[in-house]
Structure 1
Amino acid sequence: MQFRRLLLGLLALAVFTLSACSGKSAQEEIYDHLEKAVSLEDGFREQQDPLVDLENKENKLYNQIIDLSMDKFDKIKDLSKQASEIVDKRKEKLELEKESIDAAKEEFDKIKPLISEIDEDTKDAKEKAKDLYKTMQDRYDAYQNLYSSYKDSLKLDSELYDMLQNKDLKEEDLQKQIQKINSNYDKVTQANKKFNQYTEEYNQLKKDFYKSAGMKVSYEESSSKSEKNK
């Protein structure tokens, strides 16, 4: 049997610190919302390593299962139950991740009415802000697709471990399920790449916006990118 999983490699939003200034322009209010949105994604970033750990544990259990013959069915059943419990924990982490992303989006959306208030003498900054807004919307759409695909994969994983607890399971049915899982994780892979692409574009556009707005900001490296392949 072949069974491949992908653990997500996700890029984090860049963090900027604005030098102290008096009063607040529309640009500076936008800055406040943008950086608060980054902070609200802390929960999203915090789920990445635990998800990797859980998938590694689950993968080890799966490998143990496929190495066993049917005369060890009781062991297969026990390991499958353990793996199923890990899938449930992954589901919990995924939902915490989504809550964080949704909260960040709600904060980010507050910049929309402020874009029209950007000073006319900084038209380039206004255009950059529009590009920034569109790219972040694309990023959130990409995340929704990623979340949906990953959630579907978790459902298929759960079904697999339920099937493995059935002593009368047919090899044909098992192979079909594994094919479904592999096919769906291909979708996850593509959704993950798209999300990372928009994250990279957004981080660059944010730098460009701050620069065109004449804002004195310092950049802090805040990347939680990791390659997590099974």
Structure 2
Amino acid sequence: MLRKYRLGIISLFFCFLMVGLAGCQFGGSPAEKMYDHLEEAVALEDQFREQQEPLAKAEKKEQDIYNEIVALSMEEFDKIEKLSKEAEENAEQRLEYLKKEKESIDEAYEEFEEVKDLTEDLETDAAKKDAKSLIEIMDKRYEAYGKLHKEYKAAVEQDQELYSSLQDKELTLEQLQEQIKVVNEKYGKVAKHKESFNKFTSEFNEAKKAFYESAELNVNYGE
């Protein structure tokens, strides 16, 4: 019987999102140019945000399939095999969402880097200080996302290994337990890096507001 063994962790991937602003048009002074690059970076993360809902739905679907598998006995191996293949395909779709997500984050960060050469041209020491803090936090956020992406991708690939192994009639209980352990350890790391990424995203949003204030940019905060 497989019913005693459960995957345990398929973690929803919703993360804090960078806050964008609305109603301002700048582009002249160094501070205004920085504003334009910062808000364009937010816009470039749209695709990242768009992947969150389908990714979460795919995770939920996969968990439901897995729960259905573990409720079956080996006498129903044909059903186990069919469901395992379906779960494998679903995991592959998650990797596609993840790829689009990373492309969006990379493009946004590339745009963000345009602000780095503008900081020394800011008019006040307060603005320079806040800009440097902003850059430091964003660099940490991007690094945190890199780790999150790496671990999540590895976790999905381990899911695929699990589903593939479930299609083997010769799979032993010990082998199954070991693979489930590996999967859960991977998602434990995902949760850790997701927390770090969310933390730096929240800090970035606050740092950006502080910079806009010290640079005396009259911005309108969108709802």
SS of residue matched to 2:122: coil
- 1:175 aligns with one of 171, 174, 177: 177
SS of residue matched to 1:73: helix
Q: Tell me the equivalent position of 1:5.
A: 10
- Kindly provide the amino acid, as one letter, of the partner of residue 210 in structure 2: D
TM-score when scaled to structure 1?
0.93
Q: Tell me the equivalent position of 1:14.
A: 19
TM-score when scaled to structure 2?
0.95
Q: Is residue 89 from structure 1 mapped to residue 97 from structure 2 by the alignment? A: no
Cα distance in 2 between the residues matched to 1:117 and 1:20: 20
Q: Is residue 60 from structure 1 mapped to residue 64 from structure 2 by the alignment? A: yes
1:13-162 correspondence runs (5 A): 13-17=18-22, 19-20=24-25, 24-119=28-123, 122-162=124-164
1:210-229 correspondence runs (5 A): 210-221=212-223
CA contact (8 A) 1:18 1:216 kept: no
Q: Deviations over 1:83-134 (max 9, x none)?
A: 0000000000000000000000100000010001111xx2101100000001
Cα distance in 2 between the residues matched to 1:18 and 1:26: 19
Q: Deviations over 1:135-189 (max 9, x none)?
A: 0000000000000000010110000000000011001000000001111101000
| Greater than 2 Å deviation, 4+ residue runs | 17-21
CA contact (8 A) 1:136 1:202 kept: yes
Alignment RMSD: 1.0
Cα distance in 2 between the residues matched to 1:20 and 1:36: 12
CA contact (8 A) 2:6 2:70 kept: no
Of 75-84 and 8-17, more deviation after overlay is shown by 8-17
Shift of 1:17: 3.0
Q: Deviations over 1:184-208 (max 9, x none)?
A: 1010000000000000000000000
CA contact (8 A) 2:6 2:67 kept: no
Cα distance in 1 between the residues matched to 2:183 and 2:57: 20
Cα distance in 1 between the residues matched to 2:222 and 2:100: 25
CA contact (8 A) 2:40 2:111 kept: yes
Q: Tell me the equivalent position of 1:192.
A: 194
Give the paired residue count: 218
Can you give the 5+ residue segments of structure 1 that lack an aligned partner in the other structure? 222-230
CA contact (8 A) 2:44 2:104 kept: yes
Shift of 1:39: 0.3
Cα distance in 1 between the residues matched to 2:96 and 2:122: 41
